[in-house]
Structure formats: C-alpha cells, structure tokens
C-alpha cells in the first residue's frame, strides 16, 4: 500500500463513518471504536508497519495516531522506492509523470526533480541546474 492508497483507504473509512451517522444506521464516532476497526481491518503486512501503535495505543486520539503513522511510514518507504527508479526507455516527460505518480499528491516536488535530473544525460543536467527557479514540469 502506498502513501496515496493509505490516505484513500482512510478517506473511504471516514465516508463510511459519515454514512453510518444517518438516523437509521449505527454510529461510529468513538475514537476507540474507529481505532479498533482500523487495527482489525488492516492487512498483516500493513499492520506490521504500525505494530507499535496497535500494541501500545495512546490514551487519546488513537484513530488519528494510527492514521497519521501509517500514512507517514508508508510515505518514507515510497520515497526510498522512487530513489531506485530509472529512466529506461521512457521519454523524460513520461519518467516525470511516472515519478509524480509514485510520489502521490503529497509527494515532495524537490525529490522528484532531483531524481529526474540525476537520471538525465549530463548535458541536460547542466541546463536544468542553471534554471533554479523553474518548476519540475
């Protein structure tokens, strides 16, 4: 699960929670209930990422803690994965879109730009380096 997918998973969970607030349906508003729901619904490979939070939850804001920790921890591993990407046979614009997709909506633009430029031919790197204020696009 990527950071983007983790954020989407939590957004979906929150939509379900909002739907359950309808008068004829059960309410899931308790922080503890939402925490336990998340802890029991995570696949093992993702639960391992937040094992410390699951086994020793904070006294308050349990749900927000597990949510933030999972998203942040998956983000760090995603950034490492992006660092190993190569240009290959792609055009630079295709490679840029690929890196941006891997980084997700909250991906670090500076990291994407750095990785992109480091994979380009040396003469292109020189031109890009001279354009300090330019966006990665």
Mean pLDDT for back-to-back runs of 10 residues, the chain (137 residues):
68 60 57 84 85 90 90 72 81 86 68 82 80 63
pLDDT at 96: 87
In a 10 Å sphere around its CB, with 0-12 CB exposed, 13-18 middle and 19+ buried, how is residue 115 labelled?
buried
- What pLDDT is stored for residue 72 in this prediction? 82
Report the alpha-carbon distance of residue 10 to residue 101 in Å, rounded: 19
Question: So what's the pLDDT on residue 64?
Answer: 92
Helix or strand (DSSP H, E) at 80: helix 62-83
Hey, how many other C-beta atoms are within 10 angstroms of the C-beta on 97?
A: 13
At 84 the pLDDT is: 76
Q: How far apart are CA 100 and CA 112, in angstroms?
A: 7
């Amino acid at each position: 699960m990527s950071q983007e997918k983790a954020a989407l998973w939590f957004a979906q969970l929150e939509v379900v929670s909002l739907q359950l607030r309808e008068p004829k349906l059960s309410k899931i508003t308790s922080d503890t209930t939402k925490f336990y729901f998340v802890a029991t619904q995570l696949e093992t490979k993702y639960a391992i990422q937040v094992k410390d939070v699951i086994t020793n939850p904070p006294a308050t804001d349990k749900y927000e803690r597990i949510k933030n920790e999972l998203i942040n921890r998956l983000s760090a591993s995603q950034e490492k994965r992006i660092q190993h990407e190569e240009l290959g046979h792609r055009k630079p614009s295709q490679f840029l879109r690929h890196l941006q997709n891997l980084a997700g909506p909250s991906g670090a633009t500076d990291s994407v730009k750095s990785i992109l430029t480091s994979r380009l031919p040396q003469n292109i790197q020189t031109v890009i380096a001279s354009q300090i204020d330019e966006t990665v696009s």
